[in-house]
Amino acid sequence: MLTARTKTGKIICLGYDYKKETLLYFRSKEEFICPICGESVLLKLGDQRIFHFAHKQGSTCRDFYESESVYHMEGKRQLYQWLIRQKVPSVLEYYDREIQQRPDIMFKYNGKKYALEYQCSTLPEKVFIKRTQTYLENDYIPLWILSSTHIHQKRKDIVSLSNFHYLFLRTTTTGKFYIPAYCPDQHLFHLVESITSYSIKNAFIQHSLYPLEKTKLDGLLEPKMGNHLNLSSWNREIEKFNLNWTLHPGKGQKTFLYEIYNKNMNLFLLPPEIGLPVPHSILIQTSPVIWQTYLFLDVLANKNLDDLITLQEINMHFKKRISRKEIVLRKLPQLEGLNPLRAEMEYLMQLVQLGILTRKGETIFQMRRKIIIPKSNREREEAKLLFYKKNSHILFKS
């Protein structure tokens, strides 16, 4: 850890760049105490590791704080100095006794209190969610920053994101989603932006790298992003996703395949109107191909021309699918206020733009044109080519 106090109550914060000679003098004159447990700690000033405080053997705090890596300590030290240089009131390793949590950095900005957590190791989902909820319940805005070593790029515009990665998901005031990461070795913020998921783990993204010295706090809290999704790439990955599912279906996937086959549908003969990217689909772990197929089967396929469709009806079927675990929502502790039904609403608005539905009110739509299910591969390919040629400006606009 990087913060301790002396017997006289003075706080020593190693987030500042103390010279070794100064710290050697302190060590010869002072006894250092852990601000949490009150036990003595040692000031370590080796040449191979970052200067830090360490609990003695058998300490009640030891198991938690001695697990910190040099990488983690250096990362939070750099982030603390970055905030201080911007004159943002900050406390390194602030311990809030009321909630018994110690964010890496507590800072105040624009009248709001933030708890910054720089996470280098994998944290159990329950622990992450509990900490985040405790912060939110006590007027903190949690700011979880992932170590960039956890970002594994599959291709230029595709990355594999696990449930752990999605715990770090944040949103800007304009509704754009991103995951903030940081690399202390390169002094770089690494933002995973413009995230559009097409399967449980894979998503189209945009990587943005920002040097620490040239980045302001606003740039981290409100990064400027556009939508850079490529039409041909989306088509290619959806086709591969469908093929992989058919060849290697899991238990949940078999349920989906069984249902569509019973409805005389084929995964390879889905119409191009099913499986479209929408921004808030990121709130749903289930692939857009699947939840949009369910919406079609539950509601759209049963409607005739001029029939009305209500958001209440769609929500009812959506919740039924969730209760049966046929649709799974993502656990996003920093975004609990967002309603996953927004993804279905965005999809309905796409169908309005495509001329399939007409909007009749805030929560009411009318069937204007039926979605046609192709009967052969040739028919599907022809329909797909015509569809994307005609509608790509609607579906993939920035």
CATH of the domain at 179: 3.40.1350.10
Residue 360 has pLDDT above 60, yes or no: yes
Q: Taking residues 97-112, what's their average pLDDT?
A: 93
Whether 273 maps to a domain, the answer reads yes
Residue 313 has pLDDT above 50, yes or no: yes
Whole-number pLDDT of residue 103: 94
pLDDT bracket for residue 6 (50, 70, 90): confident
**Least confident among 163-167, 197-201, 211-215, 241-245:** 241-245
330 and 354 in a single domain? The answer is: yes
Whole-number pLDDT of residue 398: 42
**Least confident among 106-115, 194-203, 252-261, 338-347:** 252-261
Residue 348 has pLDDT above 80, yes or no: yes
CA dist., res. 225 & res. 220, Å (int): 12
**Least confident among 19-33, 70-84, 189-203, 257-271:** 19-33
CA dist., res. 73 & res. 173, Å (int): 31
Q: Domain range for residue 295? A: 231-395
169 and 137 in a single domain? The answer is: yes
198 and 242 in a single domain? The answer is: no
330 and 377 in a single domain? The answer is: yes
Cβ neighbour number for residue 350 with a 10 Å cutoff:
19
pLDDT bracket for residue 17 (50, 70, 90): confident
Give the helix/strand (H/E) hosting 196.
strand 188-197
Whole-number pLDDT of residue 242: 82
212 and 277 in a single domain? The answer is: no
Whether 226 maps to a domain, the answer reads no
Phi, psi of 225 (to 5 degrees): -135, 155
148 and 286 in a single domain? The answer is: no
Mean pLDDT score of the chain, rounded to an integer?
A: 88
183 and 275 in a single domain? The answer is: no
pLDDT bracket for residue 3 (50, 70, 90): confident
Residue at a domain's end among 30, 52, 68 = 68
Q: Taking residues 350-378, what's their average pLDDT?
A: 94
**Least confident among 69-83, 122-136, 155-169, 382-396:** 382-396
46 and 143 in a single domain? The answer is: no
CA 15 to chain centre: 28
Whether 165 maps to a domain, the answer reads yes
Whether 58 maps to a domain, the answer reads yes
Whether 367 maps to a domain, the answer reads yes
**Number of compact structural domains in the chain:** 3
60 and 137 in a single domain? The answer is: no
Diameter of the chain measured on Cα atoms = 86
249 and 381 in a single domain? The answer is: yes
Whole-number pLDDT of residue 48: 60
For the chain, give the percent of residues with pLDDT over 90.
56
Whether 150 maps to a domain, the answer reads yes
200 and 186 in a single domain? The answer is: yes
Residue at a domain's end among 176, 201, 221 = 221
Residue at a domain's end among 221, 250, 282 = 221
249 and 207 in a single domain? The answer is: no
